[in-house]
Amino acid sequence: MKKLTSKHWRSLQYGDKLPRKAKKAILGKKMGKQNLRARLSKVVVTQNDYPDTASLSDRFCPKCGCDVSISTGNMAEYPERWVKETCARCGFLVCWSDNSPYYHCLEFKESNYESD
């Protein structure tokens, strides 16, 4: 396995290309469809009162099964909040917040794990 250097982490941070072996070392092997369906069926969503976010038993991307996500950080000035997290492997929007509690795509099973 290839050793990860600071150059690899910097290229990840700035969105540059990354060697395939380094990407495999960070993200791991891709999950198969059968394992992904089994993992999706085991997720338990517990809705909490309004100011709190929903509790999930497991957090991952429903499209590829990846556990790693890339956050934009807060893109608005202090009193407001606008954050998006995307999957590091496939780029699917996993978690977001726009002056509201954080929503994870696993909360929306009825709409095929996508928001509006």
Phi, psi of 75 (to 5 degrees): -100, 15
Regarding whether 23 and 60 lie in a shared domain, the answer is no
Domain that holds residue 96: 32-111
CA-to-CA distance for 12 and 100, rounded, in angstroms? 29
- Asked whether residue 116 is assigned to any structural domain, the reply reads no
The pLDDT assigned to 2 comes to: 57
Regarding whether 60 and 16 lie in a shared domain, the answer is no
Regarding whether 74 and 104 lie in a shared domain, the answer is yes
42: how many CB neighbours lie within 10 A of its CB?
A: 9
Q: Please choose, from the candidates 111, 110, 94, the residue with its C-alpha nearest in 3D space to the C-alpha of residue 102.
A: 94
The pLDDT assigned to 116 comes to: 56
The pLDDT assigned to 46 comes to: 92
How far is Cα of residue 58 from the mean position of the Cα atoms in its chain? Answer: 11
Tokens of 52: 């709190």
Q: Are 66 and 60 in contact (CB under 8 A)?
A: yes
Low-confidence ranges of the chain (pLDDT < 70): 1-4, 12-13, 15, 115-116
Regarding whether 68 and 47 lie in a shared domain, the answer is yes
